[in-house]
Structure 1
Amino acid sequence: MVNSHARSDVSSVGPTPSGGPSTALLARALGASPVPTAVLDAGAGLRVVWSNAALDAATGYHPGDLAGVDVLADPRVRVPDPATLRDALREGVAFSPRVVLRRADGAHVPCEAHLAPVDGPTWVVALEDLRALRSERAEHVARVAAEQRERRALALVSRVSDLVMDVDEPHALREIAALLAGEVVAWAGFYLDDRGLWAADGLDPRRPSVRSRPASAHAPGTDPVGDLLAGRVTGPVELDLGAPAPAGSSTAWLVDQLVDGLGEATDGAAPLVLAVPGRRRTVGLLVVRPRGEGGAAGLDAPTRTVLDLTARRVGLSVDNVRLYDREHRLAETLQRAMLPEQGEVDGLDVWTYYSPNGDDAQVGGDWYDVLQLGPDTVGVVVGDVVGHDVEAAAAMGQLRSVVRSSVADATDAGHALDRVDHLVAGMRVPRPASMVLSVLERSAGAWRAGLARAGHLPVLLVREGEASLLQGTGGPLVGFGGGGRSADVVDLLPGDVLVYYTDGLVERRDRSLRDGLAVLVGVAAQVTARDAAGIGEELLARLADAPEDDVAVVVVRVPHDHDDRRGWPSPRQRRWRLPSEPASIARARHAVLRTCQAWDLPDASNAELVVSELVANAVLHGWGHVSLQLHDTGDGLRVEVEDANPTPPVTTDGHPGRVGGFGMTIVERLADWGWRPSRAGKVVWARVRPGALPRPGGEGS
């Protein structure tokens, strides 16, 4: 609304350029503008000659109340620097000073006055309310800050996802906890639950020695951590470290852990406990201490989102690792029960080896069997079932049982394979398989081998430095023979070597199978070892350093009557792949005793004790498979034990309260030892010192 006095004043402001809008139109436009605007006369002071309705509304005065007001003298207008304002008016230059207007209701409104000369002493001023501007700027800053927090939260969740993708990283959870502590909370830690809680560094399913007992039932509300694990509450749970908790409860154990672990860091906000959910149950806990004193209420929305997504992604990864571990253990147990231990065979030097492909499920369908069928009869079988899973291992077990029953009373390999075909045809074996079956018979001191193949690679014969493949008569895969399988017969001479193998020994992505067989023949012809184990180790060293499939190998050598193994220049080496279970300790001790006896090494008891302690450490403190290797270096026995835990072993410091570490003290007394990192984890090596076991307090102790 514009008063009549203002309209009459503004209509007299200068002429309108030819062809432009009329003065009356300009007056109506300024009057309708939502921007508080006034026309001022700087001829005598700085008087208001016209104001629009927006200015009247902004100040709360009635139309006409501001007409004639001298801005520089009126108490309702405060100009912080009048002298500067007057100088600018004299110079006739547009400028924007800060002023404070007192509204009709008494409120003071800070404004920015945008002054510009129009004609002579006439000026126009537009007022901008700084309160609204500041509010808009504050909202903008708040929006930018919120967007930055959300971006940081998304980046943090992305980094967490990258960490949980690497399930083999032993300290993944520790790194995620450190990441949370550095970005959104004051402290964080993970505790996994599987028949008891334990502080977790990684996603691996190993069982640590320090953990809580499985939580028992307590009165509702007295064990909030147990309720969270059982899914009775959704959390997060605010944990009072000073409040009593039922003895033996999950809450009591966690409080003890936090008090011992946090120390002075327990001052401040109470820890919050969040569930780490798996697919069907809670697999653990994420414990955080918020920054400040606000507790759970002090967590903003992005922080809550980060913690929730982190807990869910960690839970899914832990669940995946546990599912894989259970399937892996099932398959390994099944396969270990089916693969035979190498036994002694009368009249033959036999060496066997099996290794699953480490890049797959570490279990497959390759297998071997060496059977003493009679005093002068030996059966040797090597087979390959397609696949690397539980189904392949189960199919392998079925076939192995059928083969054992078929060859038990057979003297002809072809007839035995016919019987296998007949039995397999009536079974529901889910996977195709290949096989080579041989029966070795001794007559008048000489050995003869009958070989029957069912879609398998030919057996390799090495005789006096010449290697050849016994192609002979092949045939279709197991179960598809249809009867009439024939066997090739080979008369063996002293010193002859037969090598049975699966395709993992020779097949590679960068070469054909035919080229792989040619390489095998060339390598076998250059082998310098004279015993079956040495020959097998040389073949593995040159052909199977990085196998792309399962490898099963059986080496059978017909010995000479005058063999003296002590003078053989063979690279004497043995290797075993053992499951991470206590029974492997006894197997390793038996293996080293048998090897020392075969190599005619003295003081086998020292080597047995060293191997026992190293394998026990790998089983108790490591995880994954345990690899044992023995090397005859010429001046002693070198032992290497590998497991997937990269943490090096330590010796005890002699403190009476110390638990563990004494095994390495025993190793130190008997051997020079050390360790090195490996691709899978670490290798602990020991060079056994010759001589009898030193006696405490005696010479050499």
Structure 2
Amino acid sequence: MRGPSAALGPGSSALAAALGATQIPLAVLRAERSRLHVTWVNDALARAVGYAADDVVGVDVLTDPRVRPSDPQAALTALAESSSHPVVLRRADGAHVCCVAHLSAVPAGPDVPPGTLVAAVQDLTTELTASAEQAALVAEERRERRSLSLIARVSDLLVDVDEPDGLREIAALLESQVVERARFFLFDNGLWAADGLGPYRSTARHHGPSGRMLSRCTDDPVGRLLAGARDDVLELDLAADHPQGTYAHWLAERLRPDVPGDDARVVVQPVPGRRRTVGLLVVRPHGGGGVEALGSHDRTVVELVARRVGLSIDNVRLYDREHRLCETLQRAMLPEQAEVDGLDVWTYYSPNADDAQVGGDWYDVLQIDARTIGVVIGDVVGHDVEAAATMGQLRSVVRSYAFDITTPGPVLDRVDQLFGGMRIARAASLVYSALHRDDAGRWVLRYSRAGHLPLLHVRDGQARQLTGRGGLLIGFGAGGRATDEVVLAPGDVVVYYTDGLVERRDRSLRDGLAVLETVAAGVTARDAAGIGEDLLSRLADQPEDDVAVVVLRVPGPDDQLAGAVSPRRRRWALPSEPASIGRARHAVLRTCETWEIADAANAELVVSELVANAVLHGWGHVALQLHDTGDGLRIEVEDANPTPPITTDGHPGRVGGFGMQIVERLADWGWRQSRAGKVVWAKVRPGEMPGAARPVT
């Protein structure tokens, strides 16, 4: 190999030896016309490229295929300016090495030809590898953070189980960060597209095949997934010919229009509950493709989302089952509306919709003998099955002693003894009263309180609390509970209630009791039902706890005269929930009975349909008004949705609108715009039977 002195001109042999032995790859280049020749390389450069030095010397680095500048024009500029420029060298073994050439022009002189340059070549392989690894770590960390953020957002969305579009929002979240398409399908009595969690549905619109088909799903991969025969993800080709009546066919029919392009494959992820598959999450990776296109990281995210959704669905259904069980238990324990000779009695109970639809509030009305009535109202702490069971036990105990002992104080003493011996952990309060009609026909009220709110006595537009001498909670009495007495006059009203009627977060209990006194004193209704409904409409529009109310009124001498009943208009504000339908029907039946309006069954059916439409399709609270027009009952239901109601044309393929057909056959009806939305009204005439539809007036 020629030394640098030969390449540059005569020089020191020691300098030549030093440059040849250095570990920095060096080359001497000479620019002549449009060529750049290699005139010398040291051993370090020869080793770096894998060629012998003699095979390198003499080549033109601008045209040799073994040298490739990253930018030829920039390379010429670097030559002219004696700067650095990236190049890729092809080694003798075929590998490409990324380098940077640091170019320095050597001044021409007697011993140095013009156009001479020295190039120090730096191998960037180690630096680029480290940089790539660092970039990969950063990218992985970003993916992990994105995934954690997505899972946290999903958890937040699942907190509100009543959100109707919760699953749709989760699917949109997946589409924004992970996949191209995402959609949820829930499985109970068939497969159905879902926007929200929702409780267990016995029937659903646009159902897939019946759950019974799971036993015949040998040719149905989606059916096997739902049956638990496989628990991994499934790649489903929507364009394939799936057998009719299978879940795969049903799913493909509904998803095919949403999948663009020739590649119609989707990934079906089971949504597992605690014991069975409760649904499916169907996703399409970006750009199409099957499971392999989704990637392991995105598959993990999809699986975690599906598992969280599955647990939430299980919780919703468990809650719904407990809800129904508790409500059935509670309703079974509460008595029917009492009919008492000589007294006008109205009763009401509603659980708090935010809890399990059950609580410890209760009441009872007992006809002890022909001249004695027992009335009790109480509250057991809690909103669960245990509270309802405790309430049932307490009710039975009070009933047993009430028929044996006529004085309220001793009744509660006996209840204390038995309740304490049963070692029931729940605290309970109650008021027990006995009303006795004496020989003069007067009603005498005797009562005893055990930690409960005082009764309310209303006479001649004045309301006062019957606090009596009070007493400790049930189970804590030491004997000798007091009995207080009030002689009732004709027209007097006594209101029994639980704290759900008066207690609110934004006011003290004392203020709530004052509001109750004011409202009760201003009620103009002349019957117990009217008084009770007025109290509820003004005080219990949005209760924060269970509400139980008993209204007892002593009839006046003129109650049977014409027109002496309550004013012929009543109004209720109902929450937009299914329970309001039953409450509206109950209100109409009571009102028709009080106003002596015939055909209450027709009015009950009409109000049921109108309120159901407002709950299902309206917004906000529902306002119900009843008017006695003299020739029938006018029902008005108001909600915040300004869209008018519609009826179908009777075609069996149409969906919805049949409720208004029922209304048409039972009443004249119409609608009008209101400040809040719309009012749908119906007028039911007494004595009419269901018949052909009548024109709207």
- When normalised by structure 1's length, the TM-score is 0.81
Written as runs of structure 1 = structure 2, the 5 A alignment for 1:214-229 is 214-215=211-212, 218=215, 221-229=218-226
Matched residue type, 1:423: L
1:551 pairs with 2:539: no
Match of residue 239 from structure 1: 236
Matched residue type, 1:420: V
1:422 pairs with 2:417: yes
- 1:592 deviates by 2.8
Moved more, 650-659 or 446-455: 650-659
Match of residue 637 from structure 1: 634
Distance change >3 Å, CA 217–CA 203, structure 1 → 2: closer
Matched residue type, 1:456: H
1:115 is aligned, of 103, 107, 112, to: 103
Match of residue 462 from structure 2: 466
Give me the whole-angstrom Cα distance separating, in 1, the residues matched to 2:695 and 2:199.
Answer: 46
Give me the whole-angstrom Cα distance separating, in 2, the residues matched to 1:50 and 1:298.
Answer: 52
1:57 pairs with 2:47: yes
Moved more, 687-696 or 633-642: 633-642
Matched residue type, 1:61: Y
Moved more, 423-432 or 440-449: 423-432
Q: Secondary structure, in 3 states, of the residue corresponding to 1:478?
A: coil
Moved more, 533-542 or 37-46: 37-46
Match of residue 320 from structure 1: 315
Match of residue 445 from structure 2: 449
CA deviation profile, 1:206-235 (whole Å, cap 9, x unmatched)? 413343322356478534333322333122
Distance change >3 Å, CA 301–CA 675, structure 1 → 2: farther
Written as runs of structure 1 = structure 2, the 5 A alignment for 1:321-336 is 321-336=316-331
Matched residue type, 1:562: D
- 1:375 deviates by 2.7
1:351 is aligned, of 346, 350, 360, to: 346
Match of residue 19 from structure 1: none
Q: Tell me the matched-pair count.
A: 674
CA deviation profile, 1:509-565 (whole Å, cap 9, x unmatched)? 444433433343344333333332333334334443443332222121112110257
Matched residue type, 1:94: S
Match of residue 32 from structure 1: 23
Match of residue 191 from structure 1: 185
Q: Is the 8 A contact 2:668 2:694 kept in 1?
A: no
- 1:57 deviates by 1.7
Give me the whole-angstrom Cα distance separating, in 2, the residues matched to 1:335 and 1:307.
Answer: 42
Distance change >3 Å, CA 513–CA 86, structure 1 → 2: closer
Distance change >3 Å, CA 673–CA 143, structure 1 → 2: farther
Q: Is the 8 A contact 1:38 1:50 kept in 2?
A: yes
1:366 pairs with 2:361: yes
2:336 is aligned, of 317, 337, 341, to: 341
Distance change >3 Å, CA 55–CA 526, structure 1 → 2: same
Q: Secondary structure, in 3 states, of the residue corresponding to 1:562?
A: coil
Matched residue type, 2:50: G
Q: Is the 8 A contact 2:236 2:267 kept in 1?
A: yes
Q: Is the 8 A contact 1:366 1:502 kept in 2?
A: yes
Q: Secondary structure, in 3 states, of the residue corresponding to 1:383?
A: strand
Q: Is the 8 A contact 1:351 1:556 kept in 2?
A: yes
Q: Is the 8 A contact 1:339 1:369 kept in 2?
A: yes
Q: Secondary structure, in 3 states, of the residue corresponding to 2:395?
A: helix
Q: Is the 8 A contact 1:11 1:27 kept in 2?
A: no
Distance change >3 Å, CA 222–CA 40, structure 1 → 2: closer
Match of residue 82 from structure 2: 94
Match of residue 653 from structure 2: 657
Give me the whole-angstrom Cα distance separating, in 1, the residues matched to 2:67 and 2:238.
Answer: 61
Q: Secondary structure, in 3 states, of the residue corresponding to 1:438?
A: strand
Structure 1 stretches lacking a partner, 5+ long = 15-21
- 1:77 deviates by 6.8
Q: Secondary structure, in 3 states, of the residue corresponding to 1:272?
A: strand
Matched residue type, 1:364: G
- 1:132 deviates by 9.0
Distance change >3 Å, CA 323–CA 494, structure 1 → 2: same
Distance change >3 Å, CA 218–CA 74, structure 1 → 2: closer
Q: Is the 8 A contact 1:6 1:64 kept in 2?
A: no
- When normalised by structure 2's length, the TM-score is 0.81
Q: Is the 8 A contact 2:217 2:223 kept in 1?
A: no
Q: Is the 8 A contact 1:638 1:685 kept in 2?
A: no
Written as runs of structure 1 = structure 2, the 5 A alignment for 1:431-510 is 431-443=426-438, 444-510=440-506
CA deviation profile, 1:410-447 (whole Å, cap 9, x unmatched)? 43222322332233233243311111000111123211
Give me the whole-angstrom Cα distance separating, in 1, the residues matched to 2:552 and 2:544.
Answer: 25
Structure 2 stretches lacking a partner, 5+ long = none
Distance change >3 Å, CA 136–CA 442, structure 1 → 2: same
Match of residue 535 from structure 2: 539
Give me the whole-angstrom Cα distance separating, in 2, the residues matched to 1:217 and 1:166.
Answer: 32
Q: Is the 8 A contact 1:533 1:574 kept in 2?
A: no
- 1:318 deviates by 0.5
Matched residue type, 1:189: R
Q: Is the 8 A contact 2:409 2:483 kept in 1?
A: yes
